[in-house]
Structure 1
Amino acid sequence: MALIRDLRSLLKLRDFRRLFATRLTSQLSDGAFQVAIAGQAFFSPEKQTSAADIAAAFAVLLLPYSLVGPFTGVLLDRWRRRQVLVLCNLLRAVLVALTAGLVLLGVPDPVFYAAALVVLSVNRFVLAGLSASLPRVVPAERLVTANSVSPTAGTVAAAVGGGAAVLVHTFLAEGSGATALVIVVSGLLYLGSAAVAATMPSDLLGPDPDRVLPDVRRALRSVARGLREGAVHVWRRRAPAHALAAITAMRFCYGVLTVMTVLLCRNTFNDPGDTDGGLATFGITVSVSALGFFVAAVITPGVTARIGVPAWIGACALAGAVCQAALGLPFLFAPMVAGAFLLGVTSQGAKIGVDTIVQTTVDDAYRGRVFSVYDVLFNVAFVGAAAVAALGLPDDGRSPAVLLGVAGVYALTGVLYGLASRRHPPVIIEGSPTGNGRP
């Protein structure tokens, strides 16, 4: 299999191995922790779940969390990214232990959400740091392959962690005890991720010493200016700006479909009182979607080598339109699972392409800020999608009009991005620091 061959080839690079292991252990824990949050927020026996409830939860968790994004970029362009990976994972281990205690104490929802928000905000530094660091450990000509393997493997690891958490909820424990157990285990995995990151040299992941600005206070005060500079840098090259616009629109569609899926699993495919069944059904859907991510990682390098990265992004958007309209409208479990698989392929395939364009057309001095803006766009689009879903979706999740609207946005995105990428094709920046591929 090409993916396994590519992974074996990349794993010969010592620095990539360490960064890859850091990602896997971190995102394995992320998956378990996020399922614990979902179980507490959406599949708790004492709660009824509506589209408005889901939108409110996403707004509480993601909007403030999105505000951290600009600060991550400014700091990632000034702090040693390796140190960020080590210290943030240690901090998350402590924070999730406190969160587990709050769950056992039965604190009100706002307190639980606040604790989860802090953990997720720290997570923003880790994910942005991993993305900004990847070009430092692989050669430029292998970034498409690395972007196929590394983030996708991380997503699969998150799905495995989430699946394990679902099994704990379903078979081994019940209620708040299961949630607390999953959260504690995720904290242990964060400690493992910190230990792996600590094996890398402190200056390996950049930024370069002559670009490090020591005055952090001044940097924090100049967040807006730094983001403006990053935005100008992206806009002048146009190709990364168009790619970010396309992935933001696709993320919006993904958000609407996520809310719809939660409602269908909670209130339609299972009795609303059977919260364990609802969570298990949702877990199956997420796992199948993760399998789609894996397939995207397998096929993306070969496809992009033949048709180019921009054409692949546009094709993924158009395929998303077709598969959601064709498979989603029956609102039956089996077609929905098939649609979740194809959604995983198209969503991850497009993201691999966008990651590659941003990494190769944005100067290293701006990568941290640009990837932080990327994260903010991702989260704001998702929250906006949840708000739209709250207005348009009934509690059972069935709405042909909303589903066809999502398919229309996918189609429009594919067409517009295809036109834009022809006018402004990606141009790789010469001299942008990347890894030397040392074994």
Structure 2
Amino acid sequence: MRRLLSISDFRRLLLSRFAAQWGDGMLQAGLAGAVLFNPEREADALAIAAGFTALLLPYSLVGPFAGALLDRWDRRNVLVVANALRGLLILVAAVTVAMGADEPVLFTLALIVVGISRFVGSGLSASLPHVVPVRNLVEANALATTLGAVVAVTGAGCAVGLRALVGADDVGSGITTAAATLGSIAAALVAIRFAKGALGPDEVDEPPQTLVAIARGLFDGARAAVRTPTVLAGFVALLAHRAAFGILLLLTVLLVRFRLDTGMAGLGEVAGMVGLGILLAGMTTARIVAKFYRRRTMGAALVVGGVAVVALGMPMTMITTLAAALVLSYAGQIVKLCVDAAVQRDIGDEVRGRVFALYDTLFNVAQVVSVSLAALVVAPDGASPGLFAAAGICYLIGFAGFVTITRITGH
């Protein structure tokens, strides 16, 4: 960590990431409080699923555009402009929350804001190999991704605290949402300090016409991923985790909201355990991979996830829910860090942005679909043992697919 933090451009990239992700945490918690835990509104499973869709769908809709353009435009400029525009739109969303706008209006604004955020997230990931040596990508990615996720959870915690001060009604929720603008402003101010071209792309391997490049973005990313066995196997593993996570996300919110009746504070405790699991994964993944190798590490993480879902999810108590949040976030983050490193190490820079765009698209479609399907059959209070079993099966299917691909390809 000391060696990595001695690199000035890496420190600057970290600061921009942290500011943006703190704002993301503030925004998502603010909108969640406005819709799910607002005494002036009522929320059922379908409304909750719609809210998650609004927050997750932009990753899928905007991903192909972001990937193609990040491999075409100066990524430094993308980070500056996207953060500034996002900050402005967050203020618009905050005003509509304070005015008591209906959920469809809020969800539409959330779609737009989070969509712009994809340019920021994908741009930061694609830029990392430009600021650290290739041999240190695993450690650098673990540090950036892990601390960034913890900062996002911290932002959500700040939203919970601010909401307690300013109120849980529409006006209080609007003030809380508006505070997320600070993250976007800070991220833009840090990103503008990079030299032009410092974050790539080094060369453009795309058609001259921008629209053609965008149309080909997903296809190019898919072709590069399929041709790279380590990335393909990792995608299968992470796809299974995100599908299971989508089911568990809905179940957790319903349990906390209706069955356990712990409110926004209970959801904050769950988020805290998720943050702790992510932090522990960041601290240990590089050493675990160095000792047991990537294939064994990812396989074990998937098995642990499947077992934890059934053993800790089924009791449906607050203690076991918190334990499940810790274990599953730890296992899932290990898988994600390994996949991130594989993309950054094994995919060429000229197509890396498009692969990360495919990455976002596939995994968030899986999460949106799993949340939506679960919402159709879930019990009103989240007490659905069958859905916990389904989430466990997702992990086992992911394990089987991952092992099959790695054995066939020898990677």
Q: Distance in 1 between matches of 2:268 and 2:300?
A: 28
1:282 equivalenced with 2:276 (yes/no): no
Residue 219 (structure 1) aligned to one of 205, 210, 232: 210
User: What secondary structure is seen at the aligned counterpart in 1 of 2:194?
Assistant: coil
1:180 equivalenced with 2:165 (yes/no): no
Residue 223 (structure 2) aligned to one of 228, 232, 242: 232
Residue 356 (structure 1) aligned to one of 319, 331, 341: 341
Cross-structure match for 2:93: 99
The alpha-carbon deviation at position 142 of structure 1 amounts to 0.7
Paired letter, 1:239: T
1:403 equivalenced with 2:363 (yes/no): no
**Count, aligned residues:** 411
1:292 equivalenced with 2:277 (yes/no): yes
Residue 55 (structure 1) aligned to one of 49, 59, 72: 49
The alpha-carbon deviation at position 418 of structure 1 amounts to 2.2
User: What secondary structure is seen at the aligned counterpart in 1 of 2:195?
Assistant: coil
The alpha-carbon deviation at position 61 of structure 1 amounts to 4.1
User: What secondary structure is seen at the aligned counterpart in 2 of 1:308?
Assistant: helix
Paired letter, 2:339: V
Cross-structure match for 2:150: 156
Q: Distance in 1 between matches of 2:178 and 2:300?
A: 41
1:140 equivalenced with 2:134 (yes/no): yes
Answer whether contact 1:264 1:398 (CA < 8 A) is retained. Answer: yes
Q: Distance in 2 between matches of 1:305 and 1:266?
A: 41
Q: Which moved more, 1:45-54 or 1:73-82?
A: 45-54
Cross-structure match for 2:332: 347
Residue 241 (structure 2) aligned to one of 244, 250, 258: 250
Answer whether contact 2:129 2:344 (CA < 8 A) is retained. Answer: yes
Q: Distance in 2 between matches of 1:212 and 1:412?
A: 36
Cross-structure match for 1:432: none
User: What secondary structure is seen at the aligned counterpart in 2 of 1:179?
Assistant: helix
Q: Deviation per CA, 1:168-226, whole angstroms, max 9, x where unpaired?
A: 22344331222222222211221111111111111111001x427694xx222342323
Cross-structure match for 1:412: 397
Q: Distance in 2 between matches of 1:34 and 1:377?
A: 21
Answer whether contact 1:89 1:190 (CA < 8 A) is retained. Answer: yes
1:80 equivalenced with 2:74 (yes/no): yes
Q: Distance in 2 between matches of 1:356 and 1:188?
A: 30
Cross-structure match for 1:334: 319
The alpha-carbon deviation at position 120 of structure 1 amounts to 0.5
Between the aligned residues of both structures, percent identity stands at 38
- TM-score, normalized by length of structure 2? 0.96
Paired letter, 1:356: A
Paired letter, 1:11: L
Say if 1:365 and 1:35 are closer, same or farther in 2 by CA, change over 3 A: same
Map residues 255-274 of structure 1 onto 2, 5 A cutoff.
255-270=246-261
Paired letter, 2:285: T
1:26 equivalenced with 2:26 (yes/no): no
Answer whether contact 1:79 1:212 (CA < 8 A) is retained. Answer: no
- TM-score, normalized by length of structure 1? 0.90
Answer whether contact 2:90 2:178 (CA < 8 A) is retained. Answer: yes
Say if 1:236 and 1:300 are closer, same or farther in 2 by CA, change over 3 A: same
The alpha-carbon deviation at position 58 of structure 1 amounts to 2.7
The alpha-carbon deviation at position 117 of structure 1 amounts to 1.3
The alpha-carbon deviation at position 233 of structure 1 amounts to 1.8
The alpha-carbon deviation at position 400 of structure 1 amounts to 1.2
Task: Please provide the CA RMSD for this pair.
Answer: 1.6
User: What secondary structure is seen at the aligned counterpart in 1 of 2:62?
Assistant: helix
Query: Structure 2 unaligned runs (5+)?
Result: none
Q: Distance in 1 between matches of 2:227 and 2:193?
A: 38
Residue 305 (structure 1) aligned to one of 271, 279, 290: 290
Cross-structure match for 2:195: 201
Paired letter, 2:381: D
Say if 1:38 and 1:425 are closer, same or farther in 2 by CA, change over 3 A: farther
Answer whether contact 1:54 1:386 (CA < 8 A) is retained. Answer: no
Q: Deviation per CA, 1:347-398, whole angstroms, max 9, x where unpaired?
A: 1111000101111111111100000010011210111111221123101101
Answer whether contact 2:39 2:168 (CA < 8 A) is retained. Answer: no
Q: Distance in 2 between matches of 1:155 and 1:22?
A: 13
Answer whether contact 2:236 2:401 (CA < 8 A) is retained. Answer: no
Paired letter, 1:369: R
Cross-structure match for 1:3: none
The alpha-carbon deviation at position 404 of structure 1 amounts to 1.3
User: What secondary structure is seen at the aligned counterpart in 1 of 2:310?
Assistant: helix
Paired letter, 2:364: N
Cross-structure match for 1:372: 357
Cross-structure match for 2:375: 390
Q: Distance in 2 between matches of 1:67 and 1:174?
A: 31
Paired letter, 1:234: A
Cross-structure match for 1:381: 366
Answer whether contact 1:31 1:161 (CA < 8 A) is retained. Answer: yes
Q: Distance in 1 between matches of 2:100 and 2:377?
A: 33
Answer whether contact 2:78 2:119 (CA < 8 A) is retained. Answer: yes
User: What secondary structure is seen at the aligned counterpart in 1 of 2:227?
Assistant: helix
User: What secondary structure is seen at the aligned counterpart in 1 of 2:198?
Assistant: coil
Paired letter, 2:347: V
